[in-house]
Amino acid sequence: MRIQPRQQILDIWSALVSACYRDGKWDWEGGVLGANSVSDSELLLCLLYPATEIESFALDRPDTMADDVRETLYELGGSFMIGLTVFELLEEFLQRNSSDGLPRFDAGSYLQSTTDDEPTASQLSIAVVDSYSMSVTLCVAGMGFAQVFCQDHNFQGQPDAEERSKNLMAGLSTRLTAALTALVRSFVVNTAAPRSPAGRAMLSMFNQGDQPERVILESIHRSLERVRTRLRTDVALGHADENNDLHDDTLLFECGWSWGIHENAAEVDFVSEEVEQPVGVADPRPYLYFTIVALDGINDVLSQRTRELNLLNDEQYRLVEALRLRWDLTQRYWATVARFGSSRWPLEDLPWKTSDGEESDYFSLIVSAVLIQELVSRTASDDDLTRAVGIFDELARRGRITRRPTRDDPAVALHTPGVRMMLRGTEKINGDGPQLSWIVSDFAPVLLKRILQAARLSNNIGARDQLMELAKEVMDHLDQRVIAEGDAARLWDNPGALFGGAQQSQPSWYLTKRVLECLVAAERTYREAPLHSPAMVNRAVELLNEAEHLLNQEMLNTSTVTESAARRKSARMPDRQVLSKVEQQLVRARELVNVQPGTSFALASAALTELDTLAVARTLAVEGM
């Protein structure tokens, strides 16, 4: 299906209000896995993320709200009431996810036991990087919304408007500080000896050319020397051991985010006492899934909108700068690893193997996602993006998105129930609970989002066309998984409709929010200027030159005819009107020739047709005299 971001976002908003807004109250509990701080963030971001990322969807300026947005959200009331409802939802969110004035980030119902034993209450209260990253995105979006909306004269006339505004901004700011601090403390660097099990797993991905181990190790050291040096010297905040192992150049290393605050994390000393800094228990090893989740959250706080609205205080700026460094080094590391060597990329060797020996196409997708994110930050080469097309296409096939699944197909598990990740360290909490796991089922939306980002970057017409066609196929796949009936109709996710099995009637805010991220990415891609080839520019210029020359001739001929034979005003006016129209077409074609050469070509062609019609008419008129 054709991806139509505006209409599809409006459809999701309409379905969201129908599913959650009843009798003037918001239902936070209706998600398929129940409510927790992560699902609360995802649910609210389904409404707030497009509203703050796309200007024409803005809800913070009632007087300039788009007509179709107001009509879609009419159940919430008029333009001002829509904004007020969002403001109140932010207040409710803070109340629901705070205890004794301190922010809570519990993952609760999203956590799964790996045994028959039920998780303990203490275990269900733990936070994961998803909790922190979603809160960063939500708090930045919420603060930006509130800052603008609270200036509206209708809001200023509300009871206790100033106090409510102050409390909301303070609550969101405190939560943002806590989330940023936790992300700093969740960043890890893992080292491994080359002949250890972890080292051998890493080398198996690096060594695509079957070279001697010594040669590969030397090449790895050269390629990652700058990243290693900066990790060793610049990344100390939140680390008790200050990454001393990195001084040993014989060790392999990897960096990224663990599933939560890691067991070696030190407290951030400059953060105020209002922010709780719990002792970490997470395995100090990067998890690819949580790494890309953290990178996306940091990317949101680094956005231009955050800077323009001046949303951060001094403490938050220091935390963001620390995260910016980690964001940069992590992207450089994984982008280097993904493209390491001079022949086949490790990323092209599907499926990806992690340092703990786990293999999955999902991990290949996440590494490609980090690569695309890194290419967004820097100038991507045509070769990088052309090779990415092949990787995305293969992942879509292997993930049974562009190929039908077979009976008992193991690839279906990528989507339902999803990829299970063991949260090592959760069994240490109170010492009497099972190890917990985190299940991810976002293979299709992650693939779609990164395809659209790659298409936006590509300057190769063929590669971009392939990416956009692949994006449509992935959207077809997701469209088949929409819930068709009930209160949650037109929301996600019902994988049973595509893969068979139980039909789901309750919404997944986890997946719906990620589909909305794809639609926002599609909107950004569509806003880019269309690609064009030098050959098309040359053809358009050739047509323009011919058309402009013939126009000049026709103007001379029209003057001659009117003086010598036609002298009747009624006969002259139609010709002059046509010539005036042709002249305007050619002026427009000349303006577009370097940005939309195809359009310029079409305008010049139409002008040539008009000029030829005039020439034929003049010839017939002369012959008939």
| Average pLDDT rounded to a whole number, residues 525-543 | 81
3-state secondary structure 277-308: CCCCCECCCCCHHHHHHHHHHHHHHCCHHHHH
Residue 556 binned pLDDT confidence (cut-offs 50, 70, 90): confident
| Distance separating alpha carbons of residues 558 and 552, to the nearest angstrom | 10
Residue 242 binned pLDDT confidence (cut-offs 50, 70, 90): very low
In the prediction, which pLDDT does 573 show? Answer: 56
Residue 574 binned pLDDT confidence (cut-offs 50, 70, 90): low
pLDDT digits (tens, 9 = 90+) for 445-481: 999 999 999 998 887 888 888 999 999 999 999 999 9
pTM above 0.85, yes or no: yes
Among 355-359, 491-495, 546-550, which is the least confidently predicted range?
Answer: 546-550
Residue 117 binned pLDDT confidence (cut-offs 50, 70, 90): confident
Other C-beta atoms closer than 10 Å to the C-beta of 373 total: 20
**CA angle in degrees (0–180, nearest 5) for 317-321-325:** 170
In the prediction, which pLDDT does 496 show? Answer: 92
Is 475 exposed, middle or buried (CB count within 10 Å of its CB: 0-12, 13-18, 19+)? buried
All residues at 6 or more sequence positions from 392 whose CB lies less than 8 Å from its CB, including other chains: 368, 447, 450, 451, 454, 467, 470
In the prediction, which pLDDT does 339 show? Answer: 92
CB 7 within 8 A of CB 490: no
425 phi, psi to nearest 5 deg: 115, -20
Residue 570 binned pLDDT confidence (cut-offs 50, 70, 90): very low
In the prediction, which pLDDT does 244 show? Answer: 61
Task: Give the DSSP per-residue string, 172-233.
Answer: HHHHHHHHHHHHHHHEEEEEE-TTSHHHHHHHHHH-TT---HHHHHHHHHHHHHHHHHHHHH
Q: Identify the sign of the CA torsion 38, 39, 40, 44.
A: positive
| Distance separating alpha carbons of residues 436 and 418, to the nearest angstrom | 15
Residue 85 binned pLDDT confidence (cut-offs 50, 70, 90): very high
CB 122 within 8 A of CB 155: no
> What are the start-end ranges of the H helices in 405-457?
443-457
| Distance separating alpha carbons of residues 166 and 164, to the nearest angstrom | 5
Instruction: Provide the strand spans (E) within 311-429.
Output: 352-353, 359-360, 419-423
Among 168-172, 188-192, 199-203, 547-551, which is the least confidently predicted range?
Answer: 547-551
pLDDT digits (tens, 9 = 90+) for 163-176: 999 999 999 999 99
Among 5-19, 238-252, 605-619, which is the least confidently predicted range?
Answer: 238-252
In the prediction, which pLDDT does 564 show? Answer: 47
| Amino acid code (one letter) for 87 | F
Residue 303 binned pLDDT confidence (cut-offs 50, 70, 90): confident
Buried b (16+ CB within 10 A) or exposed e, 95-116: eebeeeeebbbbbbbbbebeee
Checking if the pLDDT of 510 tops 90, the result is yes
| Distance separating alpha carbons of residues 302 and 137, to the nearest angstrom | 10
| Distance separating alpha carbons of residues 144 and 60, to the nearest angstrom | 9
Is 310 exposed, middle or buried (CB count within 10 Å of its CB: 0-12, 13-18, 19+)? exposed
In the prediction, which pLDDT does 463 show? Answer: 86
CB 6 within 8 A of CB 516: no
Checking if the pLDDT of 420 tops 80, the result is yes
CA atoms lying within 13 Å on the CB side of residue 516: 30
In the prediction, which pLDDT does 154 show? Answer: 85
Among 34-48, 55-69, 297-311, which is the least confidently predicted range?
Answer: 297-311
Checking if the pLDDT of 541 tops 90, the result is no
| Distance separating alpha carbons of residues 278 and 271, to the nearest angstrom | 13
Residue 241 binned pLDDT confidence (cut-offs 50, 70, 90): low
Q: Identify the sign of the CA torsion 225, 226, 229, 235.
A: negative
- Tell me the percentage of the chain whose pLDDT exceeds 70: 94
Mean pLDDT of the chain: 89
Task: Find residue 189's DSSP bridge partners.
Answer: 255
CB 366 within 8 A of CB 288: yes
Residue 1 binned pLDDT confidence (cut-offs 50, 70, 90): low
Q: Assign a CATH topology to domain 5-192+253-527.
A: Glycosyltransferase (1.50.10)
